[in-house]
Structure 1
Amino acid sequence: MNKYAPIGFFDSGFGGLTVLKEVRSLLPDYDYLYLGDNDRAPYGNKSSKEVYEYTWECVQNLFKKGCDLVILACNTASAKALRKIQQNDLKNFPGKRVLGVIRPSAEIVGDYSITKKLIILGTQGTIDSSTYLEEFAHISPEIDVWQQACPEWVPLIEAQKYSTEEGKQQIVKDVERALKSLPSGDVILLGCTHYPIIQDIIEEQVPTNVKVISQGSIVAISLMSYLERHGWMKTKLSKGSTIEYLTTGEKDQFETHASMILEEKIKAKNIIL
Protein backbone atom coordinates (compact mmCIF):
# COMPACT_ATOMS: atom_id res chain seq x y z
CA MET A 1 0.00 0.00 0.00
CA ASN A 2 1.53 3.32 -1.09
CA LYS A 3 1.84 6.17 1.35
CA TYR A 4 -0.53 9.06 0.71
CA ALA A 5 0.94 10.63 -2.41
CA PRO A 6 -1.77 12.51 -4.33
CA ILE A 7 -1.34 14.22 -7.68
CA GLY A 8 -1.22 17.92 -6.91
CA PHE A 9 -3.07 20.50 -8.98
CA PHE A 10 -2.33 24.19 -8.71
CA ASP A 11 -4.10 27.21 -10.18
CA SER A 12 -4.43 30.87 -9.32
CA GLY A 13 -8.12 30.28 -8.69
CA PHE A 14 -11.01 28.19 -10.02
CA GLY A 15 -9.79 27.58 -13.58
CA GLY A 16 -7.68 24.53 -12.85
CA LEU A 17 -10.81 22.72 -11.73
CA THR A 18 -11.81 22.42 -15.40
CA VAL A 19 -8.63 20.41 -15.97
CA LEU A 20 -8.93 18.40 -12.77
CA LYS A 21 -12.47 17.39 -13.74
CA GLU A 22 -11.25 15.84 -17.01
CA VAL A 23 -8.25 14.18 -15.37
CA ARG A 24 -10.39 12.56 -12.68
CA SER A 25 -12.77 11.30 -15.35
CA LEU A 26 -9.92 9.60 -17.22
CA LEU A 27 -7.85 8.57 -14.17
CA PRO A 28 -10.36 8.05 -11.34
CA ASP A 29 -8.25 5.75 -9.17
CA TYR A 30 -5.63 8.26 -8.06
CA ASP A 31 -5.73 10.58 -5.07
CA TYR A 32 -5.82 14.31 -5.86
CA LEU A 33 -5.04 17.52 -3.97
CA TYR A 34 -6.11 20.85 -5.47
CA LEU A 35 -4.78 24.22 -4.33
CA GLY A 36 -6.35 27.44 -5.63
CA ASP A 37 -4.60 30.70 -4.77
CA ASN A 38 -7.87 32.61 -4.96
CA ASP A 39 -6.75 35.27 -2.52
CA ARG A 40 -4.07 36.49 -4.96
CA ALA A 41 -5.96 35.84 -8.21
CA PRO A 42 -5.83 36.77 -10.99
CA TYR A 43 -2.22 36.06 -11.99
CA GLY A 44 -2.54 37.30 -15.57
CA ASN A 45 -1.77 40.94 -14.77
CA LYS A 46 1.10 40.22 -12.36
CA SER A 47 4.81 40.46 -13.08
CA SER A 48 6.85 37.39 -13.96
CA LYS A 49 8.62 37.67 -10.61
CA GLU A 50 5.34 37.68 -8.67
CA VAL A 51 3.89 34.77 -10.66
CA TYR A 52 7.02 32.71 -10.12
CA GLU A 53 7.21 33.45 -6.39
CA TYR A 54 3.52 32.72 -5.78
CA THR A 55 3.57 29.58 -7.91
CA TRP A 56 6.71 28.16 -6.32
CA GLU A 57 5.33 28.89 -2.84
CA CYS A 58 2.18 26.92 -3.64
CA VAL A 59 4.09 24.07 -5.30
CA GLN A 60 6.29 23.67 -2.23
CA ASN A 61 3.17 23.58 -0.08
CA LEU A 62 1.82 20.72 -2.20
CA PHE A 63 5.17 18.94 -1.88
CA LYS A 64 4.94 19.21 1.90
CA LYS A 65 1.49 17.65 1.79
CA GLY A 66 2.78 14.54 0.04
CA CYS A 67 2.58 15.38 -3.67
CA ASP A 68 5.42 13.95 -5.74
CA LEU A 69 3.81 15.16 -8.97
CA VAL A 70 2.26 18.62 -9.37
CA ILE A 71 0.36 19.91 -12.41
CA LEU A 72 0.37 23.66 -12.97
CA ALA A 73 -3.22 23.81 -14.22
CA CYS A 74 -2.69 27.47 -15.04
CA ASN A 75 -1.36 28.86 -18.31
CA THR A 76 0.13 31.97 -16.73
CA ALA A 77 2.05 29.92 -14.16
CA SER A 78 3.10 27.45 -16.88
CA ALA A 79 4.34 30.35 -19.01
CA LYS A 80 6.10 32.38 -16.33
CA ALA A 81 7.21 29.90 -13.66
CA LEU A 82 7.42 26.33 -14.94
CA ARG A 83 10.78 26.51 -16.71
CA LYS A 84 12.57 28.06 -13.73
CA ILE A 85 11.02 25.55 -11.34
CA GLN A 86 11.98 22.60 -13.55
CA GLN A 87 15.50 23.77 -14.34
CA ASN A 88 16.54 25.25 -10.99
CA ASP A 89 14.29 24.57 -8.02
CA LEU A 90 13.63 20.85 -8.47
CA LYS A 91 17.34 20.14 -8.01
CA ASN A 92 16.67 20.37 -4.28
CA PHE A 93 13.63 18.08 -4.49
CA PRO A 94 14.76 14.75 -5.94
CA GLY A 95 11.92 12.53 -7.03
CA LYS A 96 9.51 15.46 -7.44
CA ARG A 97 8.15 16.60 -10.80
CA VAL A 98 6.16 19.64 -11.97
CA LEU A 99 4.32 19.70 -15.31
CA GLY A 100 2.43 22.43 -17.15
CA VAL A 101 -0.46 22.75 -19.59
CA ILE A 102 1.05 24.69 -22.50
CA ARG A 103 3.26 22.07 -24.16
CA PRO A 104 0.58 19.33 -24.19
CA SER A 105 -1.84 21.79 -25.79
CA ALA A 106 0.66 22.92 -28.43
CA GLU A 107 1.45 19.30 -29.30
CA ILE A 108 -2.14 18.39 -30.12
CA VAL A 109 -4.37 21.34 -30.88
CA GLY A 110 -2.96 21.97 -34.37
CA ASP A 111 -4.44 18.64 -35.46
CA TYR A 112 -7.93 20.15 -35.13
CA SER A 113 -7.26 22.81 -37.76
CA ILE A 114 -7.92 22.38 -41.48
CA THR A 115 -6.69 25.83 -42.49
CA LYS A 116 -3.64 25.55 -40.20
CA LYS A 117 -4.57 28.91 -38.72
CA LEU A 118 -5.13 29.03 -34.97
CA ILE A 119 -6.30 31.68 -32.51
CA ILE A 120 -5.10 31.53 -28.91
CA LEU A 121 -7.01 33.44 -26.25
CA GLY A 122 -5.24 33.87 -22.93
CA THR A 123 -4.37 36.15 -20.05
CA GLN A 124 -2.11 39.14 -20.58
CA GLY A 125 0.72 37.33 -18.82
CA THR A 126 0.45 34.21 -20.97
CA ILE A 127 0.25 36.17 -24.22
CA ASP A 128 3.11 38.52 -23.31
CA SER A 129 5.36 35.57 -22.48
CA SER A 130 5.13 34.29 -26.11
CA THR A 131 5.43 30.76 -24.72
CA TYR A 132 2.75 29.43 -27.06
CA LEU A 133 4.48 31.00 -30.06
CA GLU A 134 7.75 29.37 -29.05
CA GLU A 135 6.14 25.98 -28.57
CA PHE A 136 4.33 26.08 -31.91
CA ALA A 137 7.47 27.26 -33.70
CA HIS A 138 9.25 24.21 -32.32
CA ILE A 139 6.50 21.59 -32.57
CA SER A 140 4.31 22.72 -35.49
CA PRO A 141 6.01 25.51 -37.46
CA GLU A 142 3.44 25.12 -40.25
CA ILE A 143 0.69 26.49 -37.97
CA ASP A 144 -0.10 30.20 -38.28
CA VAL A 145 -0.83 31.37 -34.74
CA TRP A 146 -2.62 34.56 -33.70
CA GLN A 147 -2.58 35.44 -30.00
CA GLN A 148 -4.97 37.72 -28.15
CA ALA A 149 -5.12 38.70 -24.50
CA CYS A 150 -8.53 38.85 -22.80
CA PRO A 151 -7.56 40.51 -19.50
CA GLU A 152 -11.13 41.01 -18.31
CA TRP A 153 -12.19 37.38 -18.48
CA VAL A 154 -10.56 35.88 -15.39
CA PRO A 155 -11.76 38.69 -13.08
CA LEU A 156 -15.28 38.20 -14.49
CA ILE A 157 -15.09 34.45 -13.86
CA GLU A 158 -13.56 34.72 -10.39
CA ALA A 159 -16.25 37.25 -9.42
CA GLN A 160 -18.95 35.10 -11.08
CA LYS A 161 -20.08 38.04 -13.22
CA TYR A 162 -19.56 36.45 -16.63
CA SER A 163 -23.29 35.77 -17.13
CA THR A 164 -24.30 39.39 -16.48
CA GLU A 165 -25.18 41.58 -19.44
CA GLU A 166 -21.97 43.57 -18.96
CA GLY A 167 -19.90 40.42 -18.67
CA LYS A 168 -21.37 38.88 -21.82
CA GLN A 169 -20.79 42.09 -23.76
CA GLN A 170 -17.10 42.01 -22.84
CA ILE A 171 -16.75 38.38 -23.90
CA VAL A 172 -18.56 38.99 -27.20
CA LYS A 173 -16.40 42.04 -27.91
CA ASP A 174 -13.16 40.08 -27.38
CA VAL A 175 -14.29 37.10 -29.47
CA GLU A 176 -15.36 39.34 -32.37
CA ARG A 177 -11.99 41.12 -32.25
CA ALA A 178 -10.15 37.79 -32.41
CA LEU A 179 -12.17 36.52 -35.36
CA LYS A 180 -11.53 39.76 -37.29
CA SER A 181 -7.80 39.50 -36.61
CA LEU A 182 -7.53 36.05 -38.22
CA PRO A 183 -10.62 35.55 -40.42
CA SER A 184 -9.41 32.21 -41.78
CA GLY A 185 -8.71 30.79 -38.33
CA ASP A 186 -10.78 27.67 -37.75
CA VAL A 187 -9.64 26.77 -34.22
CA ILE A 188 -9.76 28.83 -31.04
CA LEU A 189 -7.65 27.44 -28.22
CA LEU A 190 -8.78 28.56 -24.79
CA GLY A 191 -5.29 29.25 -23.45
CA CYS A 192 -6.45 29.77 -19.88
CA THR A 193 -7.98 27.06 -17.74
CA HIS A 194 -10.62 29.51 -16.51
CA TYR A 195 -12.05 30.01 -19.99
CA PRO A 196 -13.93 26.68 -20.35
CA ILE A 197 -16.28 28.06 -17.71
CA ILE A 198 -17.51 30.54 -20.34
CA GLN A 199 -17.07 28.22 -23.34
CA ASP A 200 -20.81 28.16 -24.08
CA ILE A 201 -20.88 31.95 -24.37
CA ILE A 202 -17.81 31.90 -26.63
CA GLU A 203 -19.22 29.18 -28.90
CA GLU A 204 -22.40 31.18 -29.44
CA GLN A 205 -20.29 33.90 -31.11
CA VAL A 206 -18.25 31.84 -33.58
CA PRO A 207 -19.15 30.41 -37.01
CA THR A 208 -20.02 26.71 -37.16
CA ASN A 209 -16.73 25.89 -38.89
CA VAL A 210 -14.67 27.24 -35.96
CA LYS A 211 -13.83 24.78 -33.22
CA VAL A 212 -13.39 26.04 -29.66
CA ILE A 213 -10.93 23.79 -27.82
CA SER A 214 -10.41 23.68 -24.06
CA GLN A 215 -7.39 22.07 -22.43
CA GLY A 216 -8.91 19.67 -19.91
CA SER A 217 -9.12 16.53 -22.03
CA ILE A 218 -5.80 17.31 -23.73
CA VAL A 219 -4.00 17.56 -20.39
CA ALA A 220 -5.74 14.43 -19.10
CA ILE A 221 -4.57 12.34 -22.06
CA SER A 222 -1.08 13.82 -21.80
CA LEU A 223 -0.89 13.00 -18.10
CA MET A 224 -2.00 9.42 -18.69
CA SER A 225 0.72 9.07 -21.33
CA TYR A 226 3.30 10.61 -19.00
CA LEU A 227 2.51 8.11 -16.26
CA GLU A 228 2.73 5.19 -18.69
CA ARG A 229 6.15 6.40 -19.83
CA HIS A 230 7.40 7.10 -16.29
CA GLY A 231 6.58 3.97 -14.35
CA TRP A 232 8.76 5.03 -11.43
CA MET A 233 6.45 7.98 -10.82
CA LYS A 234 3.29 5.99 -11.42
CA THR A 235 4.23 3.51 -8.68
CA LYS A 236 4.85 6.33 -6.19
CA LEU A 237 1.36 7.79 -6.52
CA SER A 238 -1.35 6.61 -4.16
CA LYS A 239 -4.65 5.26 -5.41
CA GLY A 240 -7.52 5.83 -3.03
CA SER A 241 -9.86 7.79 -5.33
CA THR A 242 -9.85 10.65 -2.83
CA ILE A 243 -9.78 14.37 -3.49
CA GLU A 244 -9.08 17.35 -1.27
CA TYR A 245 -9.56 21.03 -2.07
CA LEU A 246 -7.55 23.89 -0.59
CA THR A 247 -8.02 27.61 -1.18
CA THR A 248 -6.22 30.72 0.03
CA GLY A 249 -9.45 32.63 -0.48
CA GLU A 250 -12.89 32.56 1.09
CA LYS A 251 -13.88 28.94 1.72
CA ASP A 252 -17.64 29.22 1.24
CA GLN A 253 -17.26 31.09 -2.03
CA PHE A 254 -14.80 28.49 -3.29
CA GLU A 255 -17.15 25.64 -2.38
CA THR A 256 -20.09 27.25 -4.17
CA HIS A 257 -18.24 27.99 -7.38
CA ALA A 258 -16.24 24.75 -7.41
CA SER A 259 -19.39 22.68 -6.88
CA MET A 260 -20.92 24.36 -9.93
CA ILE A 261 -17.85 23.73 -12.11
CA LEU A 262 -17.42 20.11 -11.00
CA GLU A 263 -21.15 19.41 -10.93
CA GLU A 264 -20.92 17.83 -7.51
CA LYS A 265 -21.04 19.05 -3.93
CA ILE A 266 -17.55 19.66 -2.58
CA LYS A 267 -16.00 20.74 0.71
CA ALA A 268 -12.86 22.85 0.85
CA LYS A 269 -10.32 23.87 3.47
CA ASN A 270 -8.85 27.29 3.87
CA ILE A 271 -5.05 27.49 3.81
CA ILE A 272 -2.79 30.36 4.89
CA LEU A 273 0.51 30.51 3.03
Structure 2
Amino acid sequence: MPAADPRDRPIAVFDSGVGGLTVLHELLVSLPQEDYVYLGDSARFPYGERTPEELERFGMDIADELIARRAKLLVVACNSMTSAALPALQRRMLETTLGIDVIGVVRPEAAQAVAVTRSGRIGLLATRATVASGAYERAVAAVDPHVDLLAVACPDLAPLVQDPPGGDLFTRELEDVVRGYCAPLVEAGVDTVILGCTHYPLVRPMIQRMLGRHATIVTSGAALARQVEHVLGSRDLASGRAGEGTYSFLCTGDAGAFRALGTRFLQMPLTEVEHVDLAPSPNAEVPAWPRP
Protein backbone atom coordinates (compact mmCIF):
# COMPACT_ATOMS: atom_id res chain seq x y z
CA MET A 1 0.00 0.00 0.00
CA PRO A 2 1.54 3.38 -0.97
CA ALA A 3 2.51 5.77 1.82
CA ALA A 4 0.12 8.65 2.48
CA ASP A 5 1.12 11.99 0.99
CA PRO A 6 2.94 13.92 3.76
CA ARG A 7 1.46 17.15 2.42
CA ASP A 8 -1.94 15.95 3.63
CA ARG A 9 -0.83 15.74 7.26
CA PRO A 10 -1.85 18.57 9.64
CA ILE A 11 0.19 21.42 11.05
CA ALA A 12 0.27 21.11 14.85
CA VAL A 13 0.05 24.24 17.01
CA PHE A 14 0.31 24.24 20.80
CA ASP A 15 0.27 26.59 23.77
CA SER A 16 -0.32 26.54 27.50
CA GLY A 17 -4.00 27.38 27.03
CA VAL A 18 -6.19 29.34 24.64
CA GLY A 19 -3.71 32.16 23.96
CA GLY A 20 -2.09 30.36 21.05
CA LEU A 21 -5.43 30.47 19.25
CA THR A 22 -4.46 34.03 18.27
CA VAL A 23 -1.60 32.43 16.32
CA LEU A 24 -3.87 29.75 14.88
CA HIS A 25 -6.22 32.53 13.74
CA GLU A 26 -3.44 34.07 11.64
CA LEU A 27 -2.54 30.67 10.19
CA LEU A 28 -6.15 29.95 9.26
CA VAL A 29 -6.37 33.30 7.49
CA SER A 30 -2.95 33.16 5.80
CA LEU A 31 -2.88 29.44 4.92
CA PRO A 32 -6.54 28.38 4.80
CA GLN A 33 -5.89 25.31 2.64
CA GLU A 34 -3.91 23.55 5.40
CA ASP A 35 -5.26 21.19 8.07
CA TYR A 36 -4.49 22.07 11.70
CA VAL A 37 -4.58 20.41 15.09
CA TYR A 38 -4.29 22.64 18.15
CA LEU A 39 -3.37 21.48 21.66
CA GLY A 40 -3.93 23.69 24.69
CA ASP A 41 -2.15 22.46 27.82
CA SER A 42 -4.72 24.18 30.02
CA ALA A 43 -4.26 21.72 32.92
CA ARG A 44 -0.77 23.18 33.47
CA PHE A 45 -1.57 26.82 32.64
CA PRO A 46 0.08 29.28 33.15
CA TYR A 47 3.56 28.54 31.81
CA GLY A 48 4.94 31.95 32.68
CA GLU A 49 5.94 30.98 36.22
CA ARG A 50 7.33 27.53 35.33
CA THR A 51 11.01 26.60 35.39
CA PRO A 52 12.90 25.91 32.14
CA GLU A 53 13.20 22.26 33.15
CA GLU A 54 9.43 21.95 33.62
CA LEU A 55 8.73 23.63 30.30
CA GLU A 56 11.15 21.37 28.44
CA ARG A 57 9.48 18.31 29.96
CA PHE A 58 6.01 19.61 29.09
CA GLY A 59 7.15 20.32 25.54
CA MET A 60 8.37 16.78 25.03
CA ASP A 61 5.07 15.35 26.30
CA ILE A 62 3.10 17.55 23.90
CA ALA A 63 5.38 16.86 20.94
CA ASP A 64 4.97 13.10 21.37
CA GLU A 65 1.17 13.48 21.40
CA LEU A 66 1.12 15.63 18.27
CA ILE A 67 3.57 13.47 16.36
CA ALA A 68 1.35 10.47 17.14
CA ARG A 69 -1.38 12.44 15.35
CA ARG A 70 0.83 12.62 12.24
CA ALA A 71 1.75 16.31 12.38
CA LYS A 72 4.01 17.46 9.54
CA LEU A 73 5.18 20.62 11.34
CA LEU A 74 5.17 21.73 14.99
CA VAL A 75 4.41 25.37 15.80
CA VAL A 76 5.19 26.40 19.38
CA ALA A 77 2.63 29.17 19.85
CA CYS A 78 3.86 30.01 23.33
CA ASN A 79 6.60 32.49 24.10
CA SER A 80 7.55 30.93 27.44
CA MET A 81 7.84 27.47 25.88
CA THR A 82 9.74 28.79 22.87
CA SER A 83 12.20 30.64 25.11
CA ALA A 84 12.88 27.65 27.35
CA ALA A 85 12.52 24.54 25.22
CA LEU A 86 12.69 25.24 21.47
CA PRO A 87 16.30 23.98 20.97
CA ALA A 88 15.53 20.76 22.86
CA LEU A 89 12.34 20.19 20.86
CA GLN A 90 14.19 20.78 17.59
CA ARG A 91 16.88 18.27 18.58
CA ARG A 92 14.22 15.73 19.57
CA MET A 93 12.48 15.99 16.20
CA LEU A 94 15.71 15.85 14.22
CA GLU A 95 16.77 12.73 16.12
CA THR A 96 13.62 10.88 15.05
CA THR A 97 13.17 9.26 11.67
CA LEU A 98 10.75 12.06 10.78
CA GLY A 99 13.00 15.11 10.59
CA ILE A 100 10.05 17.37 11.48
CA ASP A 101 10.66 21.12 11.77
CA VAL A 102 9.74 22.95 14.97
CA ILE A 103 9.04 26.69 14.74
CA GLY A 104 8.75 29.07 17.69
CA VAL A 105 7.38 32.58 18.07
CA VAL A 106 10.46 34.45 19.31
CA ARG A 107 12.68 34.75 16.24
CA PRO A 108 9.96 35.87 13.77
CA GLU A 109 8.78 38.58 16.18
CA ALA A 110 12.31 39.79 16.89
CA ALA A 111 13.15 40.05 13.20
CA GLN A 112 9.96 41.98 12.46
CA ALA A 113 10.54 44.37 15.37
CA VAL A 114 14.08 45.15 14.21
CA ALA A 115 12.78 45.74 10.68
CA VAL A 116 10.20 48.33 11.76
CA THR A 117 11.94 50.23 14.57
CA ARG A 118 13.06 53.73 13.63
CA SER A 119 14.88 54.69 16.81
CA GLY A 120 16.56 51.36 17.60
CA ARG A 121 14.70 51.19 20.93
CA ILE A 122 12.37 48.20 21.23
CA GLY A 123 10.19 47.22 24.16
CA LEU A 124 9.01 43.76 25.19
CA LEU A 125 5.98 42.81 27.28
CA ALA A 126 6.18 39.14 28.27
CA THR A 127 5.83 36.59 31.05
CA ARG A 128 8.42 36.33 33.78
CA ALA A 129 9.79 33.06 32.32
CA THR A 130 10.23 34.61 28.87
CA VAL A 131 11.96 37.72 30.20
CA ALA A 132 14.24 35.67 32.48
CA SER A 133 15.32 33.46 29.56
CA GLY A 134 16.87 36.36 27.63
CA ALA A 135 15.62 34.74 24.40
CA TYR A 136 14.38 37.98 22.89
CA GLU A 137 17.60 39.83 23.70
CA ARG A 138 19.56 37.13 21.90
CA ALA A 139 17.17 37.04 18.94
CA VAL A 140 17.21 40.83 18.51
CA ALA A 141 21.01 40.98 18.84
CA ALA A 142 21.37 38.27 16.22
CA VAL A 143 19.49 40.47 13.75
CA ASP A 144 21.05 43.80 14.76
CA PRO A 145 23.43 44.10 17.73
CA HIS A 146 22.97 47.89 17.78
CA VAL A 147 19.29 47.73 18.70
CA ASP A 148 18.36 48.09 22.39
CA LEU A 149 15.64 45.96 23.97
CA LEU A 150 13.84 46.87 27.20
CA ALA A 151 11.98 43.86 28.61
CA VAL A 152 9.12 44.18 31.13
CA ALA A 153 7.80 41.09 32.92
CA CYS A 154 3.99 41.00 33.20
CA PRO A 155 3.19 38.10 35.56
CA ASP A 156 -0.46 39.08 36.09
CA LEU A 157 -1.51 39.84 32.53
CA ALA A 158 -1.96 36.42 30.88
CA PRO A 159 -4.00 34.97 33.79
CA LEU A 160 -6.24 38.07 33.79
CA VAL A 161 -6.82 37.78 30.04
CA GLN A 162 -7.53 34.04 30.12
CA ASP A 163 -9.69 34.05 33.24
CA PRO A 164 -10.88 37.60 34.03
CA PRO A 165 -12.55 38.01 37.44
CA GLY A 166 -16.31 38.06 36.97
CA GLY A 167 -15.89 37.14 33.30
CA ASP A 168 -15.55 40.76 32.14
CA LEU A 169 -12.21 41.28 30.42
CA PHE A 170 -12.22 45.01 29.74
CA THR A 171 -12.31 46.53 33.21
CA ARG A 172 -10.70 49.52 34.90
CA GLU A 173 -8.66 47.10 36.99
CA LEU A 174 -7.15 45.50 33.89
CA GLU A 175 -6.56 48.95 32.42
CA ASP A 176 -4.56 49.90 35.52
CA VAL A 177 -2.50 46.70 35.27
CA VAL A 178 -1.71 47.32 31.60
CA ARG A 179 -0.84 50.96 32.29
CA GLY A 180 1.64 49.91 34.98
CA TYR A 181 3.40 47.44 32.69
CA CYS A 182 3.56 49.93 29.81
CA ALA A 183 4.89 52.80 31.94
CA PRO A 184 8.61 51.83 31.76
CA LEU A 185 8.38 51.50 27.99
CA VAL A 186 6.74 54.91 27.63
CA GLU A 187 9.37 56.45 29.88
CA ALA A 188 12.16 54.86 27.82
CA GLY A 189 10.73 56.24 24.58
CA VAL A 190 10.57 52.95 22.68
CA ASP A 191 8.94 53.18 19.26
CA THR A 192 8.28 49.44 18.77
CA VAL A 193 6.83 46.98 21.28
CA ILE A 194 6.79 43.19 20.99
CA LEU A 195 3.83 41.44 22.60
CA GLY A 196 5.76 38.47 23.92
CA CYS A 197 2.75 36.38 24.96
CA THR A 198 -0.02 35.05 22.76
CA HIS A 199 -2.69 36.23 25.23
CA TYR A 200 -1.78 39.88 24.89
CA PRO A 201 -3.27 40.56 21.41
CA LEU A 202 -6.73 40.37 23.00
CA VAL A 203 -5.97 43.61 24.84
CA ARG A 204 -3.92 45.17 22.05
CA PRO A 205 -6.15 48.29 21.75
CA MET A 206 -5.68 48.94 25.47
CA ILE A 207 -1.91 48.46 25.18
CA GLN A 208 -1.79 50.76 22.13
CA ARG A 209 -3.61 53.49 24.04
CA MET A 210 -1.12 53.30 26.91
CA LEU A 211 1.92 53.31 24.59
CA GLY A 212 0.65 56.08 22.32
CA ARG A 213 -0.22 55.99 18.65
CA HIS A 214 3.41 56.49 17.57
CA ALA A 215 4.38 53.04 18.90
CA THR A 216 4.30 50.06 16.52
CA ILE A 217 3.08 46.85 18.11
CA VAL A 218 4.48 43.53 16.86
CA THR A 219 2.56 40.31 17.49
CA SER A 220 3.60 36.75 16.83
CA GLY A 221 0.78 35.56 14.58
CA ALA A 222 1.46 37.33 11.29
CA ALA A 223 5.25 36.97 11.52
CA LEU A 224 4.96 33.27 12.36
CA ALA A 225 2.51 32.61 9.53
CA ARG A 226 5.07 33.90 7.01
CA GLN A 227 7.73 31.57 8.42
CA VAL A 228 5.37 28.59 8.35
CA GLU A 229 4.61 29.30 4.69
CA HIS A 230 8.34 29.49 3.92
CA VAL A 231 9.11 26.19 5.69
CA LEU A 232 6.26 24.35 3.99
CA GLY A 233 7.42 25.62 0.60
CA SER A 234 11.07 24.74 1.15
CA ARG A 235 10.17 21.22 2.38
CA ASP A 236 7.56 20.63 -0.34
CA LEU A 237 4.96 20.11 2.39
CA ALA A 238 2.37 22.72 1.39
CA SER A 239 -1.10 21.30 0.88
CA GLY A 240 -2.16 21.06 -2.74
CA ARG A 241 -5.89 21.43 -2.10
CA ALA A 242 -7.78 24.40 -3.52
CA GLY A 243 -10.39 24.71 -0.79
CA GLU A 244 -10.31 25.14 2.97
CA GLY A 245 -8.66 22.65 5.27
CA THR A 246 -9.93 21.41 8.62
CA TYR A 247 -8.99 22.32 12.17
CA SER A 248 -9.45 20.40 15.41
CA PHE A 249 -8.73 20.94 19.09
CA LEU A 250 -7.23 19.06 22.02
CA CYS A 251 -6.83 20.22 25.61
CA THR A 252 -5.46 18.74 28.81
CA GLY A 253 -7.91 20.53 31.10
CA ASP A 254 -11.67 20.99 31.03
CA ALA A 255 -12.83 20.73 27.41
CA GLY A 256 -16.01 22.72 28.01
CA ALA A 257 -14.16 25.61 29.61
CA PHE A 258 -11.61 25.59 26.79
CA ARG A 259 -14.35 25.75 24.19
CA ALA A 260 -16.14 28.58 25.99
CA LEU A 261 -12.97 30.67 26.17
CA GLY A 262 -11.53 29.66 22.83
CA THR A 263 -14.01 31.32 20.52
CA ARG A 264 -13.01 34.75 21.83
CA PHE A 265 -9.34 34.08 21.06
CA LEU A 266 -9.81 32.29 17.73
CA GLN A 267 -12.51 34.69 16.45
CA MET A 268 -13.93 31.76 14.50
CA PRO A 269 -16.19 28.85 15.43
CA LEU A 270 -14.61 26.08 17.48
CA THR A 271 -15.28 22.46 16.66
CA GLU A 272 -15.58 19.87 19.42
CA VAL A 273 -12.68 19.86 21.87
CA GLU A 274 -11.13 16.49 22.77
CA HIS A 275 -9.67 16.04 26.25
CA VAL A 276 -6.25 14.34 26.35
CA ASP A 277 -4.06 13.20 29.23
CA LEU A 278 -0.35 13.69 28.60
CA ALA A 279 1.63 11.01 30.41
CA PRO A 280 5.35 11.85 30.71
CA SER A 281 7.11 9.84 27.99
CA PRO A 282 10.73 10.95 27.63
CA ASN A 283 11.70 7.75 25.82
CA ALA A 284 8.52 7.26 23.85
CA GLU A 285 8.86 5.80 20.40
CA VAL A 286 7.53 7.92 17.55
CA PRO A 287 5.94 6.59 14.37
CA ALA A 288 8.38 5.75 11.60
CA TRP A 289 6.62 7.06 8.51
CA PRO A 290 8.86 8.50 5.78
CA ARG A 291 10.65 11.80 6.19
CA PRO A 292 8.96 14.82 4.59
TM-score by length of 2: 0.87
1:265, distance to aligned residue in structure 2 (A): 2.4
Give how far 1:147 is off: 0.9
Q: Give 1:171 deviation, angstroms.
A: 1.4
- What SS does the aligned partner of 2:159 have? helix
Letter in 1 for 2:201: P
Tell me the residue number matched to 2:61. 57
* Aligned-pair CA distance for 1:235: 6.5
The aligned residue for residue 2 of structure 1 is 5
- 1:20 maps to which residue? 24
Q: Identify the residue that residue 171 of structure 1 maps to in structure 2.
A: 178
User: Unmatched 5+ residue regions in structure 1?
Assistant: none
- TM-score relative to the length of structure 1: 0.92
- What aligned pairs does 1:110-121 form with structure 2 within 5 A after superposition? 110-121=114-125
Task: Please report how far the alpha carbon of residue 234 of structure 1 lies from its aligned counterpart in structure 2 after TM superposition.
Answer: 3.4
Q: Which amino acid aligns with 1:200?
A: P
Identity of aligned residues (%): 28
How many pairs align?
270
Work out whether residues 105 and 218 of structure 1, in 8 Å CA contact, stay in contact via their aligned partners in 2: yes
Residue of structure 1 in register with 2:228 after alignment = 223
Q: Deviations over 1:29-83 (max 9, x none)?
A: 0100000001101101001110111111011100001112110011111110111
Between stretches 2-11 and 88-97, larger displacement belongs to 88-97
Matched, 1:69 2:73: yes
The residue aligned with 1:144 is: 148
Structure-to-structure mapping, 1:1-273, within 5 angstroms? 2=5, 5-88=9-92, 90-161=94-165, 162-180=169-187, 182-183=188-189, 185-231=190-236, 233-234=237-238, 241-267=245-271, 268-273=273-278
User: Aligned partners of 1:30, 1:61: CA distance in 2, in Å?
Assistant: 20
1:89 Cα offset (Å): 5.3
Q: Distance in 2 between matches of 1:226 and 1:217?
A: 15
**Counterpart in 1 of 2:282?**
none
Superposition deviation, residue 164 in structure 1: 3.0
Deviations 1:88-131 (A, max 9, x none): 45303433221111111122221111111100111111110001
* CA shift digits 1:183-235 (9 cap, x unpaired): 2x10111011111111111112122211122111111112112222222x336
Distance 2:90 2:117 in 1: 31
> Is residue 33–residue 239 contact of structure 2 (8 Å, CA) maintained in 1?
no
Residue type matched to 2:177 in 1? Q
* Native 8 Å contact 1:68 1:95 kept in 2: no
RMSD: 2.0
Is the alpha carbon distance of 1:140 and 1:123 closer, same or farther for their aligned partners in structure 2, counting shifts above 3 Å?
same
Q: CA deviation at 1:22?
A: 0.6
Question: 1:143-165, CA deviations, whole angstroms, 9 ceiling, x for partnerless residues?
Answer: 11111111111111221344233
Partners of 1:5 and 1:236 within 8 A in 2 = no
Q: Aligned AA for 2:214?
A: N
Gaps of 5+ in 2: 279-292
Give the Cα separation in 2 of the matches to 1:123 and 1:81.
15
